[in-house]
Amino acid sequence: MRITFGLLIGIIVCFISTDAATSNEFYKKNNLINEPMFEMKDKNPHNEQTVYLSELLMDKYPETCKNLIAILEKHHVKYSFIKGTKDIWCRDYMPVQTESGKFIQFRYEPSYLKGEKEWEDSRSDVKEVCRLNNINATFSDINLDGGNVLICDGRAILSDRIFSENPNYEKDSLINELSKLLECEIIIIPAQNGDYTGHADGMVRFADRNTILGNKLADECKYWQKGMQKVIDTYNLTYIDVPFITDIKDPKHPDSAIGIYVNYLEVNDLIVMPIFNRDEDRQVLEILQRTFPNKKIETIDYNDVAKEGGLLNCTTWVVR
């Protein structure tokens, strides 16, 4: 997610669908049609990151998408849109970029999208998305969502959901293969029983290779506290508690992600943090300001997206 790389990546061209009036008008106004998704190494000497969004985010949540783009533009962060996706959660189905710059496209067949035709129809075809957007990736048969991969300075955090999603692999063999592909030491944390995705990015985030921010341990279930403490001790990690909100109940949106602050967007020297109109907003903002003194922290109301089950990290693909 950070660190320089020396491999030639290629150019992805983002085409805009003509049947989405809201997004097409926005793209034309902002000169985004046929804009390259990202540049080659020799044209990106400062190793700057770019944010990519599914076209569907603008179609389904135009005001929220525009608000996010306004923040990116304010801080001169490049952004563009991905063609050919079937839902807005692009972090999960897009390739994972290693610190050397390689793109690893994992198999995208999460168990939580099986069993109902509507769910299965919403699963993006990763090979087709790569083809449409000219992404040159290494394909792996390991079943893994991008939201369950956090990379920082030679380390990667994944939840133990990877084991149930890949029953044909022995655990040690799976970890060894992931370590080779991701070019990282693999750290496995316990998934939360209440999260049907099992994604790491709803529980913790890296501040640096030895420091993680995570949902406040004392407020978590005992099994998760115990499992995380073992990880903290084993890898000599510093754990920074981040409040999270659990008392917001919405029967119409049982999978809502409202209250999960750690699912923020981090790109270059910017962090975009979700807010929920609660006292905890200020607490979390101060935590992020102390943890990232050299980064700019912006806030955004992302609740209309959050009600559907994800937040900022879920809906963005950040690459160099």
Return the closest-CA partner of residue 119 out of 87, 166, 82. 87
Let me know if residue 2 belongs to a domain.
Answer: no
Whether 5 maps to a domain, the answer reads no
Look at residues 93, 291, 92, 299 and name the one whose alpha carbon lies nearest to residue 205. Answer: 291
Min mean pLDDT across 16-20, 161-165, 233-237, 267-271 is at 16-20
Residue 14 falls inside a structural domain: no
Buried/exposed 11-39: b ≥16 CB within 10 Å, e otherwise: ebebbbeeebeebbebbeeeebeebbbbb
Is 4 inside a domain boundary? Answer: no
Q: Which amino acid is at 247?
A: D
User: Is residue 13, in this structure, part of any structural domain at all?
Assistant: no
pTM (whole model) above 0.85: yes
**Domain residues for 261?**
21-319
> What tens digit of pLDDT does each residue of 200-233 get?
999 999 999 999 999 999 999 999 999 999 999 9
**At 47, is the pLDDT very low, low, confident or very high (cuts 50, 70, 90)?**
confident
Residue 309 counted as domain residue:
yes
Assign residue 226 the CATH number of its domain. 3.75.10.10
How confident is the model over 276-292, as a mean pLDDT? 97
Residue 296: inside a domain: yes
55 in a domain, yes or no? Answer: yes
Question: Binning pLDDT at 50, 70 and 90, where does residue 26 land?
Answer: low
Specify the number of domains making up the chain: 1
